[in-house]
Structure 1
Amino acid sequence: MRVVVVDDHAMFRRGVSAELGSTGAGRVEVVAEAADVDEAVAAVTAHRPDVVLLDVHLPGGGGVEVIRRVNDSEVRFLALSVSDAAEDVIGTIRGGARGYVTKTITGPELVDAIARVSDGDAVFSPRLAGFVLDAFAGAGLSADLASVDEDLDRLTEREREVMRLIARGYSYKEVAKELFISIKTVETHMSSVLRKLQLSSRHELTRWASDRRLL
């Protein structure tokens, strides 16, 4: 199975490629990597892989923009993201991805997920499947998501990532390590998040995110 790995963190891309080369030896070949939307579209167009491992939040428009611009029914997309927020999962699936797994997945599990998506199956991390079932069964989750779009639109993609991790109780140091950014950058994003959402503390942010089903 020929795979393109798309993520804006070079260290993470290299790690995934190395893991697939080791765990998926003989089953998976990483034919290209890309760091943003334009690079991803160019790589997929040039290599026409079986599966694209796609981060949700990318410079240039995000993972859904890659799917839209490629517009090739023969290429299947599997989202691989740090985010397990409902609006990211549902938005990406509605955008055309065949599956969505989080970056806590193990190497063997990822190889299996790639194989299943390549075969045409839909694959989700266990906790995420409920979001998708609810949304596409018309259980009202999509309406709930619409009500928080206005708040989330105030935040950049990176601020959303920082916001979710901080709201889950991560320390600034842990967030920096998770997102491959400096602690000072985390602090800057956090200040911006609190200002834009008109909140005054981590406690208020956690409550805000919990009320909106973003944790």
Structure 2
Amino acid sequence: MQNPINPVPSPRTVIVLDDQVFYRDILVRLLDMQTHLEVIGQADFSDQAMSMILNLEPDIILAAPCQKPQTNLFFIEQLVSRRQDICILLIASSCDTEDLVKFICSGVSGIFLKARNFEILLKAIDRVLAGELWFERTLLKSIVDTADKIPPAQPPANTIDNTNNKLDGLSRRELQIVELVVQGQNTNSIAKTLAISEKTVRNHIYSIYGKLEVSDRLELARFASQTN
């Protein structure tokens, strides 16, 4: 009797968007060397790029929009409005923090610093493809601080009471995890700090999201900083 052969998983498909052709070509060549990834397109931010993405439906888009942040923000907002399940990893170089906050609000799945090495980029791609968010620890606090400077509408008294009720619903362990998230720690780091498994950390984080009615770590960090 023959042993069953495990099928080789299909590579995850990638489209690279960057107005800098030189960097884009280098990145595509490096990605082409990865057996688990397949670059199916590359372009600058244009109408042709929008059509290509909508037609090819890649698993992930690597987008470096910082040459023209305002114009390319509009591109990403339009793309997300037409494909709400789209997976976008932002590759940031010269964007200021306020622009990064706007990109996060537009629906990107993570931010990678262009100056970091390629191995870290591969790790970020894998995390985002696995359904996680990727935000550079060195950026997280400044992003939250910048988001806090955007004045929110004054909440009514009943909203403040509701916020306090939400915090009261967190367990001691969940409050510890919220504090570590605000400090910029990722899942692995939180697990080591608290001497628990990464799976347990993820379960706690999903529970926290539900109790506080937030959808990602940035919203969680901002919620925590606003309520001290």
User: If the TM-score is normalised by the length of the shorter chain, which range does it land in?
Assistant: 0.5 to 0.7
Distance in 2 (CA, whole Å) between partners of 1:44 and 1:61 is 20
Q: Which amino acid aligns with 1:141?
A: K
How many Å apart are 1:58 and its aligned residue?
A: 5.6
How many Å apart are 1:98 and its aligned residue?
A: 1.0
Aligned length: 138
Give the stretch that moved more between structures: 32-41 or 51-60.
Answer: 51-60
Which of 42, 48, 53 is residue 39 of structure 1 equivalent to? 48
What is aligned with 1:95? 106
CA contact (8 A) 1:78 1:100 kept: yes
Give 1:174-213 correspondences, 5 Å limit: none
Q: Which amino acid aligns with 1:113?
A: A
TM normalised by structure 1 equals 0.58
What is aligned with 1:66? 75
CA contact (8 A) 1:37 1:62 kept: no
Distance in 2 (CA, whole Å) between partners of 1:10 and 1:73 is 27
Q: Which amino acid aligns with 2:123?
A: D
Deviations 1:106-133 (A, max 9, x none): 1111111111111221112221111333
Point out where structure 1 has 5 or more consecutive residues left out of the alignment. 144-215
Q: Which amino acid aligns with 2:126?
A: A
- Residues 122, 135 of structure 1: alpha-carbon distance in 2 compared, 3 angstrom cutoff: farther
Give the stretch that moved more between structures: 73-82 or 50-59.
Answer: 50-59
How many Å apart are 1:60 and its aligned residue?
A: 9.9
Which of 20, 26, 29 is residue 31 of structure 2 equivalent to? 20
Identity of aligned residues (%): 23
* Greater length-normalized contact order (CA 8 Å, ≥ 6 residues apart): 1
Q: Which amino acid aligns with 1:55?
A: A
TM normalised by structure 2 equals 0.55
- Residues 131, 43 of structure 1: alpha-carbon distance in 2 compared, 3 angstrom cutoff: farther
Distance in 2 (CA, whole Å) between partners of 1:62 and 1:98 is 19
Bigger radius of gyration? 2
SS at match of 1:66: helix
What is aligned with 1:4? 15
- Residues 115, 14 of structure 1: alpha-carbon distance in 2 compared, 3 angstrom cutoff: same
Give 1:146-185 correspondences, 5 Å limit: none
Which of 42, 59, 68 is residue 50 of structure 1 equivalent to? 59
Q: Which amino acid aligns with 1:32?
A: G
Which of 134, 145, 150 is residue 142 of structure 1 equivalent to? 150
Cα RMSD for the two superposed structures: 2.1
Deviations 1:64-118 (A, max 9, x none): 2222222312221111121252112101001111111121121111111111111
Q: Which amino acid aligns with 2:114?
A: K
